[in-house]
A and B are shown apart, each in its own frame.
Chain A
Amino acid sequence: MKVIELLAARRDNWRELEKLCQQWETPLSGRPGAVQVTRFAFLYRAACADLALADAYHLPPTTVEYLHQLVGRAHNQMYRGRGFNFAAWLPEMLEALPRRLLHDNSLRLAFVIFWGMFIAAAVLAYHSPAVADHVLGKDMVTGMEQMYDKPIEGRDADESTAMAGFYTYHNPGIGLQCFACGLLLGIGGLFITISNAAILGAVFGHMAATPQSDNFFHFVTAHGPFELSAVVLASGAGMRLGFSIVDTRGWRRGAALRRAAREAVPSICASIVLFALAALIEGFVSPSALPYWSKAAVAIVSTLLMLFFLLALGHARRSTLQLDKNSATG
């Protein structure tokens, strides 16, 4: 058979496949019916066969090019992304994540570095105002002092909502930046963690030494645990990425990075959840006129919640789901 006849015989099939692709590529087209799927699969296999035999058929390069594109397009409609599978995320977040975090050296390192630097900066800034000026800059120091001049008397719900929204926008952004910078061989993550810890520690240390210290702690106590833990968690997740490229544990660097990245996603998601909770508390509880003990109670409860997540869920016995998996493989 001559090439031109072959093309004439196949053209209708290709056009039909093309039309189905076009139809399915429209995002809101709905699910195709069973008949359509079967027809699509048939046409796709036929196009694949034509492409495989293109060389034997002496098909011209333009047609081969066309077939590459058609098969590629149909392939992407045939094998589609599954979207979000939230049913699988829940055990991942509540079972696998705490267990992983409990044994995560990057998280330990981030924790030690962050709190070490925080306490060091706080002690230094407490004893010498020059340190705070140096770390934070004069303007920020005076700004902070003015901000906490007035006692916390509460503000209306309207302003609180605006501020909660602002914190939701601002704080997880910093966390995600920490995470992303960890990818730069871990050095970017170390740098950002240390600088964040130094700034926050200097603020705490300096404010503790000023007359406004009561107002300051009145404001920061309630949301502090969630927010600072979220920063540590995000930094740890980022360092995990960065260090995986350096210490590959026998994997190739690319594979080690992909493995670490897969495991870092739940961590950074948890960090965003913590940031969001902190933003809610910072928006509504922290500036309210509630007595100090209630704010301290919020801080204690949130710390206990995180400890429960890490220790209780992390040490929890394997769930039935994973027992099944183990018995199936073993």
Chain B
Amino acid sequence: MTDSRSPLDTRIEIVTPENIAFQYRLAGPFARLPAYLVDLALRIAVVLFVGFMGMMAFGVAGVPGIGLGLLAVVGFVTEWFYGGLFEALWNGQTPGKRLFRLRVLTAEGQPINAWQAVLRNFLRGADSLPWMCYQVGLLSAASNDRFQRLGDLAAGTMVVIEQRVLRADMVRIEQPEALRLAAQLPPGLIVSRSLARALSAYVTRRQMFSWRRRIEIALHLAEPLRVSLGLPPRTDPDQLLCAVYHLAFIADRLSEPPPPTRQSEPLVFS
């Protein structure tokens, strides 16, 4: 398994058995804290509930000691086996991790097995030093590139964020000025990959900026584009980028007349 990370990003690349590389976002300490707190609250709730019910049931029966013993055993199991059991049975998730869309995977991005789940939770004893403040774990997570605490390092696991972004659709250009401008551009315009990426990054986010800010950002790309396309100097940079975007991603090239360069090509099959 290979992995490569961009130096300033919390992403990790996984190569699957299908030989596809895809990226995960790693979960740092502060993405994991809410999940930990939910799990902690759940554990306490279970212990309180079992304790209450046990004391009620066995207390009425005249043997409160059995209720106490049951409470202590449940306390032990939830304290040390809660994480291990859930992560082994729920494919790397505890209820808290599920709520916040975190998942434990091996450092290579594979599903974890039972011993890894059990081990990384047993070693909380070292990570939570001193006094359940998780300073050791924090230090360990800060000093490696996958935010692994000591338990993760020993078990060879990491925690990733499984995001759910529901939007995969493209932004459509509706403003008439941009569409008019697009019709004026040469139809055979070839958009390179990096230009396409920059255009779509701009168009997806331009709604978030004010008019002046848009001009300021767009000008960097629009000015050289305008010069190379031979457009008049008063062209609106924002609209120009939208027009090129429209041409690159949305406009139907087939319905337009073929570019003039094609017509001048020699007919090789005649």
Contact = CB atoms under 8 A, between A and B. Distances in A.
B170 A161 contact: no
B80 interface: yes
Interface residues of A, number: 73
A166 B51 CA distance: 13
Contacts of B103: 76
Interface residues of B, number: 77
The B interface is mostly helix, strand or loop, or mixed, namely helix
A51 B118 contact: no
B155 A60 contact: no
A173 B155 contact: no
Interface stretch (A79-87, A146-154, A319-327): A79-87
Given A2-B252, A184-B126, A66 B114 contact: no
A159 interface: yes
Interface stretch (B34-42, B83-91, B234-242, B260-268): B83-91
Contact of A258 (B76, B123, B154, B200): B154
B111 A80 contact: yes
A72 B13 CA distance: 10
A181 B156 contact: no
B249 A2 contact: yes
Interface in A159-183: 159-166, 168-170, 172-173, 176-177, 179-181, 183
B150 A183 contact: yes
Interface string B239-261: 00000000011111100000000
Interface residues of A, dominant DSSP? helix
A44 B164 CA distance: 16
Contacts of B90: 27
B92 A166 contact: no
B22 A71 contact: yes
Given A69-B165, A81-B111, A158-B63, A165 B70 contact: yes
Contacts of B169: 7, 11
Interface stretch (B2-10, B191-199, B210-218, B224-232): B191-199
A65 interface: yes
B185 interface: no
A176 B65 contact: no
B52 interface: no
B153 interface: yes
B124 A180 contact: yes
A169 B23 contact: no
Given A2-B253, A72-B22, A261-B119, A60 B170 contact: yes
A45 B22 CA distance: 13
B174 interface: no
5 contacts: A72-B162, A76-B111, A81-B111, A183-B150, A184-B126
The 8 A-B pairs of least Cβ separation, nearest first, read A165-B69, A180-B125, A60-B200, A165-B72, A158-B65, A162-B65, A180-B126, A162-B68
